[in-house]
């Protein structure tokens, strides 16, 4: 075999290895009920859960606990998923900026000891875009 053929085979093998390792890291979107079932079955793979923050009648967030003076890397809150199941979420990092203003939250992590431990938090805040759109529309009138 020629050296170019051997190098080509090695490159293809490395590419396949990279693709297989990235597919193994891909997580799926589930509800809290399914995340709990996976944890009970011993499945520790990371999953995505979409939900909204639990709020009271006045619009204040319920169940949020963050005290940066005590522990800046411990943040807990209650998330309500699309099936209206409430779950306590723990995030071992500082509270994300504009968390209080978010409309929808996507968390990545898994269930551990009846608590969802989040590795990542993605905030969806359409209100800031709507505000800019309103200002642009009123400026053009």
Report CA-CA distances (Å) from 94 to 11, 52, 98, 124: 41, 19, 12, 18
Q: Which of 80, 85, 50 is nearest to 64 (CA)?
A: 80
Element (H, E) at 123: strand 115-124
Mean pLDDT on 58-63? 86
pTM of the model: 0.69
- The answer to whether position 9 is within a domain reads no
| pLDDT tens per residue across span 22-57 | 665 556 789 999 999 988 998 888 999 999 998 888
Total domains, the chain: 1
- The answer to whether position 135 is within a domain reads yes
CA distance 118 to 32: 12
Residue 93 domain boundaries:
27-139
- The answer to whether position 4 is within a domain reads no
119 three-class SS: strand
Per-residue b or e along 53-92, where b marks 16 or more CB atoms closer than 10 Å to that residue's CB: bbeeeeeeeebbeeeeeeeeebbbbbbbbeeebebebbbe
- The answer to whether position 10 is within a domain reads no
Q: Which of 95, 85, 92, 87 is nearest to 113 (CA)?
A: 87
| pLDDT tens per residue across span 83-112 | 999 999 999 999 998 888 888 999 999 999
- The answer to whether position 41 is within a domain reads yes
């Amino acid at each position: 075999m020629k050296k170019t053929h051997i190098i080509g085979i090695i490159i293809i093998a490395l590419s396949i290895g990279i693709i297989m390792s990235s597919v193994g890291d891909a997580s799926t979107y589930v509800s809290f009920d399914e995340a709990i079932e996976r944890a009970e079955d011993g499945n520790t793979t990371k999953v995505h859960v979409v939900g909204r923050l639990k709020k009271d009648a006045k619009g204040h967030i319920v169940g949020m606990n963050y005290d940066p003076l005590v522990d800046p890397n411990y943040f807990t809150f209650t998330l309500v998923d699309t099936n209206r199941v409430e779950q306590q979420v723990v995030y071992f990092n500082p509270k994300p900026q504009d968390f209080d203003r978010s409309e929808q939250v996507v968390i990545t992590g898994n269930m551990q000891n009846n608590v969802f431990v989040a590795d990542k938090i993605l905030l969806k805040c359409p209100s800031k875009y709507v505000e800019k759109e309103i200002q642009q529309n009123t400026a053009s009138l």
